[in-house]
């Protein structure tokens, strides 16, 4: 009996893998954040398969290891922040940005008794303060950019204390070793829930639509298989529409995939809307980000990053869904957003 069951299972597996085997494969790396959820939706709802691409998802705990896996050809797509791929490109890696996953998401946390002093609509409240952060994190780079835009001298007007992890930043804020700390989701939600800390500001209040995790791949693979990547991005565009129109099911999918508190997922994704998931490449945002890294002195020499950004494949993907549903409001909004940011 066991042999018969095994044989049936084998046949079933062979049949299903036979379908998948006909599709081009993409191995996709991501980090466990709710804002990376479009991958889970596209997988769960079957959009990848419907668009004709067989996607396998790999979760990474370290951006450095994830980018190294793309460089080594072990992954076909990477989603590991903006800084990490930019650092690799600056050192000669042939990567191309083809899309995006997360916009915004960074927050400044403080002890509750400091909240009145640090809140308000002006970044000048941080003058003279000691800010804990993870060096080269999106929050670090974008906060510096926001301060510069506000006319605040980052070298003279405030002090940055660098830590190795978001958890260490939270701990420093909790102990009062710093006045405030810059962290990303879900760390500030957890800091609020577990340690009673408060979010003083979301950086997007001062710097709207800044880039966080970007989707990138090996340039040679992008150039040789643009149709595969178009299908992949088309599936993500459809997942974006689902996320915008089906909040409750989306929360369930994210919670199941990430195994984190459902309330945190719901709050960050739909209530507080701390970050947006959006597959748009945000070319202008990447270029801005690069300039902030240079201005901070993290990289000593400029490099033409623009030639590592391909917006055409995303545009083709967007055009393909609009062609099928020309009156769809979500897709039309995506088109407007694309025109503004690329």
User: Does the footprint of another protein cover residue 84 (CB under 8 A)?
Assistant: yes
Opening angle at CA 9, ends 6 and 13, nearest 5: 135
Among residues 91 and 339, whose Cβ is nearest to another protein?
Answer: 91
User: Does the footprint of another protein cover residue 317 (CB under 8 A)?
Assistant: no
Q: Which 169-188 residues touch another protein, going by CB under 8 A?
A: 184, 186
Q: Which 39-78 residues touch another protein, going by CB under 8 A?
A: 59-64, 67-68
User: Does the footprint of another protein cover residue 337 (CB under 8 A)?
Assistant: no
User: Does the footprint of another protein cover residue 268 (CB under 8 A)?
Assistant: no
- Which range binds another protein by CB under 8 A, 9-17, 49-57, 158-166, 242-250? 158-166
CA–CA separation, 183 vs 101, rounded Å?
Answer: 18
CA–CA separation, 85 vs 239, rounded Å?
Answer: 24
How many residues bind another protein (CB under 8 A)? The answer is 44
Under DSSP, the state recorded for 270 is I
8 A C-beta contact, residue 207 and residue 280? no
Among residues 87 and 222, whose Cβ is nearest to another protein?
Answer: 87
CB of 214 to another protein, least distance (A): 12
CB of 135 to another protein, least distance (A): 7
CA–CA separation, 21 vs 36, rounded Å?
Answer: 26
- Among the listed residues 26, 28, 29, 33, the single contact to another protein using CB under 8 A: 33
CA–CA separation, 69 vs 64, rounded Å?
Answer: 9
Nearest in space to 103 (alpha carbons), one of 237, 273, 256 = 273
Among residues 33 and 225, whose Cβ is nearest to another protein?
Answer: 33
CB of 167 to another protein, least distance (A): 8
Opening angle at CA 53, ends 51 and 57, nearest 5: 120
Burial of 121 (0-12, 13-18, 19+ CB in 10 A): exposed
Nearest in space to 203 (alpha carbons), one of 116, 266, 156, 133 = 133
Q: Which residues bind another protein (CB under 8 A)?
A: 31-33, 59-64, 67-68, 80-81, 83-84, 87-88, 91-94, 134-138, 140, 162-165, 167-168, 184, 186, 190, 258-261, 298-301
């Amino acid at each position: 009996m066991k042999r018969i069951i095994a044989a049936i299972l084998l046949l079933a597996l062979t049949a299903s893998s036979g379908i998948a085997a006909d599709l081009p494969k993409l191995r996709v790396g991501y980090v466990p954040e709710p804002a990376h959820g479009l991958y889970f939706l596209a997988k769960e709802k079957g959009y990848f398969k419907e668009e004709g691409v067989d996607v396998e998802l790999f979760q990474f705990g370290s951006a450095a290891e994830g980018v190294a896996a793309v460089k080594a050809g072990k992954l076909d797509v990477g989603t590991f922040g903006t800084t990490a791929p930019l650092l690799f490109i600056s050192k000669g890696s042939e990567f191309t940005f083809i899309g995006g996953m997360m916009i915004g998401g960074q927050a400044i946390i403080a002890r509750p008794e400091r909240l009145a002093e640090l809140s308000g609509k002006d970044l000048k409240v941080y003058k003279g303060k000691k800010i804990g952060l993870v060096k080269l994190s999106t929050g670090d780079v974008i906060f510096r950019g926001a301060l510069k835009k506000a006319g605040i001298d980052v070298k003279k007007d405030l002090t940055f204390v660098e830590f190795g992890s978001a958890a260490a930043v939270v701990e420093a804020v909790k102990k009062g070793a710093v006045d405030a700390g810059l962290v990303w989701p879900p760390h500030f939600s957890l800091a609020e829930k577990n340690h009673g800390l408060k979010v003083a500001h979301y950086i997007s209040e001062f710097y709207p639509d800044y880039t966080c995790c970007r989707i990138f791949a090996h340039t040679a693979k992008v150039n040789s298989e643009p149709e595969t990547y178009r299908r992949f991005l088309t599936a993500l565009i459809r997942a974006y529409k689902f996320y915008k129109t089906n909040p409750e099911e989306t929360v369930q999918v994210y919670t199941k995939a990430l195994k984190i508190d459902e309330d945190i997922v719901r709050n960050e994704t739909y209530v507080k809307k701390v970050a947006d998931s959006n597959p748009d490449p945000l070319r202008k945002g990447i270029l801005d980000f690069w300039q902030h890294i240079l201005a901070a002195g993290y990289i000593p020499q400029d490099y033409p990053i623009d030639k590592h950004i391909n917006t055409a494949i995303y545009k083709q993907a967007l055009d393909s869904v609009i062609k099928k549903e020309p009156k769809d409001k979500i897709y039309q909004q995506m088109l407007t957003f694309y025109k503004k940011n690329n």
